[in-house]
Structures are given as C-alpha cells and as structure tokens.
Amino acid sequence: MSVTKPYNSRRGASCEDCGVETYPSEYYMVKDKIWDKAVPEDVDENRYIYLCIGCLEGRLGYSLTSKDFIKFPINNINSYTSDRLIDRLLSK
C-alpha cells in the first residue's frame, strides 16, 4: 500500500487516508489486533497514525462493532462523538 503523508509534520489528528480531522468526533482506540490489520508494519512507529471510522473500515473491509474497541475512557461517548462512531460503539 502506498500512502502519501501530507500531514506528516502537522499537529492534530488528521485521518491518514482522507485528511479529515478525527478529533474529537472520531477519536477512539480499537484493539491492537484490529489496528495492526489496518495499519501496515512499515510505518514509522514514532509517528501517530489516525484514521476516521470510514477509512479504518475501508482498510479492514468490514464495519466495526463494540467488541473491536478497547474499554478505555477515550471510547466514552460524549457530545462530540460522531453518529457513526456511536453506532459502532453500540453495535453488537
């Protein structure tokens, strides 16, 4: 997979694939095994990668469900959480 990185040195949490700002509406953490499938091994480990829900699902090829997310405060639904992230966090 070739990925261009226009946001490489930028602060923020821009989606790696589409550039949309993921914070705070789609700021979440999934389990390592899910993330490892979506994000190739050869990316610079010192760099934080962000993906919006749509692009993460695009890489994985399926829709996320609640069991794909870790139990962590970052995944708590708040007033900023996007509708589709809420949908995934609640889906079984």
Q: Does 3 participate in binding Zn ion (rule CB under 5 A)?
A: no
Sign, CA dihedral 60-76-46-32, equals negative
* Closest separation in Å from C-beta 34 to Zn ion: 16
Contact 74, 27 (CB under 8 A): yes
Nearest CB to Zn ion, comparing residues 6 and 73? 6
* Closest separation in Å from C-beta 1 to Zn ion: 14
Nearest CB to Zn ion, comparing residues 38 and 52? 52
* Closest separation in Å from C-beta 53 to Zn ion: 8
Contact 22, 29 (CB under 8 A): no
The residues in 6-65 that bind Zn ion, with binding defined as CB under 5 A, are: 15, 17-18, 52, 55
* Closest separation in Å from C-beta 39 to Zn ion: 13
Instruction: Round to whole Å and give the CA distance between 87 and 82.
Output: 9
Phi and psi of 75, rounded to 5°? -90, 5
Contact 70, 31 (CB under 8 A): yes
Nearest CB to Zn ion, comparing residues 52 and 64? 52
